[in-house]
Amino acid sequence: MKRCKIAGLLFALAAPTAPAMAGQSVSLILNWTPAADHSPFYYAKSQGWYEKAGIDLSIEVGKGSGVSSLKVGSGGAPFGISDLATMLVARSKGADAVALMSIYANTGQTFYWLKSSDISGPKDFAGRKIGNPPGDASRVMWPAFAKAVGLAPESVAFVNVGPTAKSAALKSKTVEIISDFYNSHDIKLKEFGGDLGSLNWKDIGLNPYGNSLIVNGAFLEKNPKLSEDFVRITQKAYAACVAEFDPCLKALLDQVTGLDREEQLMQWGRIKYLMADEFTTTKALGWIDEGRMRKDYELVQTYLGIEKPFAVESAFTSRMLDPLVKMDATKVAK
C-alpha cells in the first residue's frame, strides 16, 4: 500500500503541469494613431495590469471617432475610443455602443487656420476648404458648429486629409482650415508661430464630452466583470500618468514608432486640462455626468438629428469607475 502511494505521488510530480489559463483576447480600437492621450493604455499593458486581470489586450490604430464608434457598435471590437457626440450619432443609427469613462471631460475639438489666409474667425470659413479624415468627429459634428456660428453647413468643402498630414496640408495651403485636438496646440504654435489662428469649440458654447472609452453593449452584458476590470485598470493608468508622465511616455515610445518625445510631452500638458472638470475631480476620474449627457443628446438631436430616439441613460454608465481614483486638479494648467 505504501509503495502504491509513493508511486502515485511520483507520477503526479512527473506529470506535465497544465498551462495557466490564457487571458481573454480583447481588442481596443483607438480613435486615431497612438499619441500621448493613449499612453495610459500602453503603460498599463507594459506593467502587465491587463494581463494580471486575465485580459490579453491588443491595440488597433484608429481612423476617426466615426469609424471606432461603428466598429465597437457592430461588435467588431469590444472596446474603443470615440468622441461621445459621435458615438451618440452612431447609436441613433443602431450602433450598440455604451460609454464607460470620459477621457476628455472637455471637448478637444479645435479648428486651426493661418491668419495670412485672411481668416480671423469662423465668420470667414465660408467658401474655404477644411482638411480632415472622413471619420473625423469635427466633420461628423460640423452642422452643429456651423449653426452655432451662423454658417450654412454646406458653405465649406471638406478635403480628405490623413491625421498625420493635417499640418502639412495647412502649410502648403492645400486646405485653409484643419480640425485637430487641442492637445496638439503647442506643436502647432511651435510650427506656425504668430500666424496661427485657432478656435476651440468650447469657446462658442459647444462643449460636448470628447474622447471616451466605449464598449459594445452585448459584450458588456456578457462580460460585466471583465468590463469593470478593464475600466478600473484604465482609470488607474490615467491617474498614474497624471501623477508622473515619464514612465507612461516611455511605455508609449517603446511600443509605438515615429513619435517625437518633446511633442508628446507638450501634448500631455494640454490633455490634463481636457481631462478635468467638476465631476472628474470630485466624483471619479473618467466620470460621465447624466446632466451633461442629456445636453449632449439634445445637441445631437438639434443639429444632427436622432435617427432612432433612445433613452440617454442607456448610452453610458459611470458605475464601473472606482470612486477613490479622482483626477488631480493640482496637476492641471491650461
Whole-model pTM? 0.83
Query: Which helix (H) or strand (E) segment is 144 a member of?
Result: helix 142-149
Quick count: other Cβ atoms within 10 Å of Cβ 322?
A: 16
Percentage of the chain modeled with pLDDT above 70? 93
Confidence of residue 332 (pLDDT cuts 50, 70, 90): confident
Residue type at 8 in one-letter notation:
G
Q: What is the pLDDT of residue 12?
A: 37
C-beta of residue 177 within 8 angstroms of C-beta of residue 124: no
139/123 Cα distance (integer angstroms): 17
Q: What is the pLDDT of residue 334?
A: 62
Angle (nearest 5°) at CA 185 between 182 and 187 = 140
Phi, psi of 18 (to 5 degrees): -65, 135
Please write the tens of the pLDDT for every residue from 16-51: 333 334 689 999 999 989 999 999 999 999 999 999
Q: What is the pLDDT of residue 22?
A: 62
Please write the tens of the pLDDT for every residue from 71-111: 999 999 999 999 898 899 999 999 999 999 999 999 989 99
What is the widest separation between alpha-carbon atoms in the chain?
97
User: Looking at the predicted structure, is the pLDDT value of residue 1 above 80?
Assistant: no
User: Looking at the predicted structure, is the pLDDT value of residue 212 above 60?
Assistant: yes
- What the chain holds in terms of domains, given with CATH numbers, is 24-106+208-328 (3.40.190.10), 116-204 (3.40.190.10)
Contacts of 103 (CB under 8 A, 6+ apart): 37, 81, 210, 211, 212, 213, 238, 274, 275, 286
Cα distance between the two ends of the chain: 78
Lowest mean pLDDT among 1-10, 166-175, 230-239, 317-326: 1-10
205/293 Cα distance (integer angstroms): 15
List strand residue ranges (DSSP E) for 115-188, in order. Answer: 129-132, 157-160, 177-181
Residue with cell 464630452: 209
Percentage of the chain modeled with pLDDT above 90? 79
